[in-house]
A and B are shown apart, each in its own frame.
Chain A
């Protein structure tokens, strides 16, 4: 009887381990495909994979994070105005769910700030003011939670660069922010191999163009 209990217990631990191993394996594989994604379809495929993982791992915010991230990227890579809002609604839904799992996670504020400018592309005239405001608020919160996170600065730099000078943007203003982001990226070490770790290359690329 004792043996049986031990056996079942071991089996249980093994299965649980197997489960978390399965999660990590699936996540690593999905991250790899996300990192290699170039086309719209690649990003949708990655987004779908993370979505599937998220449905089985209700206590993890990362699968939701990446699914939202990949969906947002789709809106930047290949903007289809008719679809953008529906895709962003979906991404926003993932972010909202992720916030329920990890309410104070600064990377989620960063991601939220990454989503807002995509909303503007649908109707720049009507939405510009509202969503720039919302984006700045999310970035301020992210920087407050951790001033060392490079992605907050990268996003601020890229939106500053893309904004016309008339609206307080332009290359001259963006450059020092890209430089700050670069310093922070150089020092940045992700918590785990699965933690968000994007933006460094894009930052270097933009900086080299200035």
Chain B
């Protein structure tokens, strides 16, 4: 009894007696002192903070084996085993920078990402909405990035010598089959979806992940916002129509509804048109955006878009020397639902489904052409985080596609096909250490129409070449089914193929970023034909081939808010192909050797306005000249455009108001996209031509938007 008491007492006394001093210095690996580091003994209150010289001193009652913890923001937390019996001086502690928080190696060959969350990105989501000349269009904004070609009469993305159909768009991982509004001949179109829907987007000009298939050249991956932050409404009045939206936020759920009605009648009167509109273009559309947080890490997203557009013009068919009434009406419905959840600490599931119907009704001089495309998709992807060094993703998707075209022109023709596309992929990313990462993937596809399976390996890697720079590379095989316009005539075609090799060097320090990318792309199995629009046997084959090679440069200096922010992108490309009805290899009409964009943005505080300007240049494009025996050897004059955007923010009628003005081609450059030649030569034996030019020289849109 007494013995126990004695022991207890002794214990207490001993505890009181053993106050020990611990002192030392905290440094980084360059021997610079770290100020403000937290130094303490694990599971105790005992500890302190390092001073401006990195020095620290504290006392503790603890003794024996203890762990000293040293932590500081941006550095790896360090644990140090100590045996405390007497005072410890001159501890020298060196903290290692935490690369995951600073500039960890990122595989990014071929990729431009716009995000708020990641440090490695060169673009912010706002950049996409506020780039002058882009008209608030996602694709327009990406068109100012290197690797793209300016093709003014199309409005769609042309990437590295690829045609517009070679770029595919995905929303939250789901395929968007008709991302653009339907287009009239020689007039540009634009994307259906507002850039404000997306808080992160990736534009890949090649070498992309095995998750994406059926895209020969490029992928645009758009990620929608998570829960909307607050309940609000918005009404906008434009010189071309009306837009409105309402967003409601509950605790774990949000719903946003938008609607728009656009009519270009007024604008077409204000800016002289060289198109003879019979009925001015009209767009009516609505979107629904539903989000529900199912758990801390789970989210269900549903998106629906319903749109109608129609226009009617007198088409100047110069080839056949006649004017024709051409009317176009389009109905489009797109729905997708996705579900993401962390199943446990190691497994994540992303799955979803989508439906799309796109119906184009074209009437050419009372002859209707009705094209109906229906697609549906189911997709599931699992991600496994084996360790923090290895991430493996695998998944499968199914796409069902029905195409039907009914033509009543000198008889009734029905052209159509159905296809079931099955794909699966697996991809692993291994971070060998914090300077080297490798990603290897394999994609397999099977098409019921083509009845052929296809294996596509992908490989990419990145290595840090310094604190602020890295080298990244990507290789891979990419394939895509031939376009609907060929598949509807022939079931003997197989997928077209491209192989990409890309090498990228990127430097990013503070506000400045620089990027240089060199690439080589080889095309094979491209569709060739003897006669266009002919269902004759053996007309179509996959004997076409081609190549694209060149380099892209991107420079950006994004100073602080209220100061200037600009980027310059330049691309050089050498691309030729022998496809379609070409008799020899030639540079196709959509490729210009030099493309340059200079984008400038600045918020001017005193006038509370955001100004932006974009200068675009493209060297001459090839066009077919029947008077010249050298195939596609003529070039148009270079393309020049200066566009500006002005955004002024004010408080009007007690609500936040935004006034926005955009002016395209402010200096009125006379741009020529190409020439149309008559099918019949004149009396001197020369085929006369007509220039393809923009619908109007300048274009301006004014918008006033109220938010409440």
Contact = CB atoms under 8 A, between A and B. Distances in A.
B36 A45 contact: yes
A9 B232 CA distance: 61
B73 A166 contact: no
Interface in B445-483: none
A4 interface: yes
Contacts of B561: 123-125
Contacts of A44: 35-36, 49
A44 B249 CA distance: 36
B40 interface: yes
Given A22-B45, A130-B229, A167 B124 contact: no
B38 A51 contact: yes
Contact of A136 (B43, B74, B116, B230): B230
A123 B116 contact: yes
B432 interface: no
A3 B1 contact: yes
Interface string A103-129: 000000000000000000001111101
A32 interface: no
Interface string A23-66: 00010000000000000010011001101110110000000000
B650 A166 contact: yes
B656 A126 contact: no
B608 A164 contact: yes
Task: Count chain A CB atoms within 10 A of each CB in B5, B230, B603 and give the residue with the most.
Answer: B230
Interface in A68-104: 81-83, 86-87, 90
A86 B40 contact: no
B47 A48 contact: yes
B125 A126 contact: yes
A101 to B, nearest CB: 16
A126 B124 contact: yes
Contacts of B43: 55-56
B6 interface: no
Contacts of B51: 41
B35 A41 contact: yes
Contact of B649 (A45, A49, A81, A167): A167
B656 A167 contact: yes
A11 interface: yes
Nearest to A129: B229
Contact of A56 (B1, B44, B49): B44
B101 interface: yes
A134 interface: yes
Contacts of A11: 8
A25 B309 CA distance: 72
B433 interface: no
B567 to A, nearest CB: 15
Contacts of B46: 52
A37 B649 CA distance: 38
Interface string B13-54: 000000000000000000000011010101111111101100
Interface string B634-645: 000000000000
Nearest to B74: A86
A202 interface: no
B126 A52 contact: no
Given A52-B38, A137-B229, A123 B45 contact: no
A129 B230 CA distance: 10
Interface in A150-194: 164-168
A123 B229 contact: no
Contact of A125 (B8, B44, B126): B126
Given A41-B35, A48-B36, A166 B656 contact: yes
B270 interface: no
Interface residues of B, number: 41
A147 interface: no
A145 interface: no
Interface in A1-28: 3-4, 7, 11, 22, 26
Given A83-B74, A123-B116, A126-B126, A48 B49 contact: yes
Contacts of A132: 229
Contacts of B603: 125
B40 A52 contact: yes
Contacts of A134: 229-230
Contacts of B1: 3-4
Interface string B589-613: 0000000000000010000101000
A167 B232 CA distance: 14
B113 to A, nearest CB: 14
B649 A137 contact: no
Contacts of B656: 166-168
Interface string B272-300: 00000000000000000000000000000
A107 B687 CA distance: 81
B42 to A, nearest CB: 8
Nearest to A134: B229
B45 A7 contact: no
B513 to A, nearest CB: 15
Most B-side CB within 10 Å, residue of A7, A55, A132: A55
A125 B647 CA distance: 12
B608 A48 contact: no
A187 to B, nearest CB: 29
B38 A165 contact: no
B116 A127 contact: yes
Interface in B461-516: 510
A4 B560 CA distance: 70
B608 A45 contact: no
Contacts of A166: 608, 649-651, 656
A123 B608 CA distance: 16
Contacts of A126: 116, 124-126
Contacts of B650: 166
Contacts of B4: 4
Contacts of A124: 561
A127 B115 CA distance: 11
Contacts of B560: 81
Given A123-B561, A125-B603, A52 B47 contact: yes
Contacts of A90: 73
A83 B232 CA distance: 32
Nearest to B296: A96
Contacts of A56: 43-45
A51 B36 CA distance: 13
Interface string B641-674: 0000000011100011000000000000000000
A137 B227 CA distance: 12
A173 to B, nearest CB: 9
B45 A52 contact: yes
A166 to B, nearest CB: 4
Interface string B204-234: 0000000000000000000000001110100
Contact of B230 (A55, A81, A125, A137): A137
Contacts of A45: 36, 49
Given A55-B43, A123-B116, A165 B229 contact: no
Contacts of B42: 55
Interface of A: 3-4, 7, 11, 22, 26, 41, 44-45, 48-49, 51-53, 55-56, 81-83, 86-87, 90, 123-127, 129-134, 136-137, 164-168
15 contacts: A41-B49, A45-B36, A48-B47, A48-B49, A49-B49, A52-B46, A55-B42, A56-B45, A125-B124, A129-B229, A130-B116, A134-B230, A136-B230, A164-B608, A166-B651
Given A134-B229, A168-B651, 10 more contacts: A7-B8, A48-B38, A56-B45, A82-B510, A83-B74, A125-B124, A130-B116, A137-B230, A137-B249, A167-B649
Enumerate the 5 nearest inter-chain pairs by beta-carbon distance, A residue then B residue, closest first: A133-B229, A133-B230, A44-B36, A48-B38, A45-B49
